[in-house]
């Protein structure tokens, strides 16, 4: 199970960032992202080499949000390639599309095209989810003053899987990167943007989340982040029940750091 004996502030502020590279010469998103990762990508070496945590435990939330989760699950839509690529620019789409075709995933927009999970994005969340998101005091990840952090409700239904990947935030940062012709500030310092996951239910049989070489074992309310440019990860659900999570991505502020320094390891919502 996830342990909270660490210091999330110390772990996050200690992260390093490999300098970005241009997308030219890459025909797949995975290899492009690997080029700016500090992860070793070597199972024989193991993940205990260097100073890159597979994930960083932040805190554990407690609360009764079961009915909220049921309602959100009923409103969610399959996140197919087309659904996920709509907010992005062409180069990101092309690189990911090439990967999907190479790996054999169906991505051509048919009703049975590959879906990584079901999702609600940019929605009015129930109070229970809003309270959790507001605690992190994030700004909008692309610096839009009138916008809130990027918040999604994700539920991985039985039979769905999110392919092995590294985060890139291609949709969120499309304007800063200008179709990958420039770099965003966080491409030079990944600590400027944080993605947080809150597990909204206990882990069930057949539900898998892997960070680097480590399989996570979670329970309801566990909250983690990770070095998003470095650590490859993927998820799947070959079980019988949905796996809901809250996905929050935002620009780190001084208030975020204050929260990470002093937050209780168990927080009631």
Return the pLDDT at 66: 97
Which pLDDT belongs to residue 146? 67
3-state secondary structure of 117: strand
Nearest alpha carbon to residue 167 among 145, 148, 141:
141
When the pLDDT of each residue in the chain is averaged and rounded to a whole number, the result is 91
For residue range 198-256, what is the model confidence (pLDDT) as tens digits?
999 999 999 999 999 999 999 999 999 999 999 999 999 999 999 999 999 999 999 99
- Report how far residue 236's alpha carbon sits from residue 20's, in angstroms, rounded to the nearest whole number: 29
| Residue 142: Cβ within 10 Å count | 21
Start-to-end CA distance of the chain, whole Å, equals 21
Please say whether the structural domain 8-268 has been given the CATH code 1.10.1740.10. no
Give the least confident one: 138-147, 162-171, 230-239: 138-147
If one counts every other C-beta atom within 10 angstroms of the C-beta of residue 13, the result is 13
- What pLDDT is stored for residue 205 in this prediction? 98
How many Å apart are CA 245 and CA 238, to the nearest integer? 16
pLDDT above 80 for 145: no
Residue 81: φ, ψ to 5°? -60, -45
The reported pLDDT for the residue numbered 45 is 76
């Amino acid at each position: 199970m996830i342990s909270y004996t660490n210091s999330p502030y110390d772990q996050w502020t200690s992260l390093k960032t490999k300098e970005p590279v241009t997308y030219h010469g890459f025909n797949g998103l995975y290899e492009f992202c690997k080029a700016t990762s500090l992860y070793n990508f070597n199972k024989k070496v193991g993940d205990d080499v260097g100073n890159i945590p597979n994930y960083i435990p932040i805190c554990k939330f407690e609360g009764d949000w079961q009915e909220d989760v049921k309602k959100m699950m009923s409103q969610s839509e399959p996140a197919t390639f087309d659904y996920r690529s709509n907010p992005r620019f062409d180069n990101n789409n092309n690189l990911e599309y090439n990967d999907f075709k190479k790996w054999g995933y169906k991505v051509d927009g048919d009703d049975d095209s590959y879906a990584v999970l079901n999702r609600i994005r940019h929605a009015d969340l129930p109070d229970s989810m809003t309270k959790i998101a507001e605690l992190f005091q994030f700004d909008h990840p692309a610096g839009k003053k009138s916008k809130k952090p990027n918040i999604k409700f994700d539920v991985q239904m039985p039979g769905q899987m999110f392919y092995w990947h590294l985060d890139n935030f291609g949709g969120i940062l499309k304007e800063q990167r200008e179709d990958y012709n420039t770099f965003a500030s966080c491409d030079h310092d990944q600590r400027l943007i944080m993605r947080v996951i809150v597990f909204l239910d206990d882990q069930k049989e057949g539900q898998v989340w892997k960070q680097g070489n480590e399989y996570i074992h979670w329970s309801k309310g566990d909250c983690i982040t990770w070095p998003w440019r470095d650590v490859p990860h993927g998820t799947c659900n070959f079980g019988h029940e949905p796996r809901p999570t809250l996905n929050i991505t935002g620009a780190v502020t001084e208030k975020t750091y204050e929260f990470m320094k002093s937050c209780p390891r168990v927080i009631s919502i």
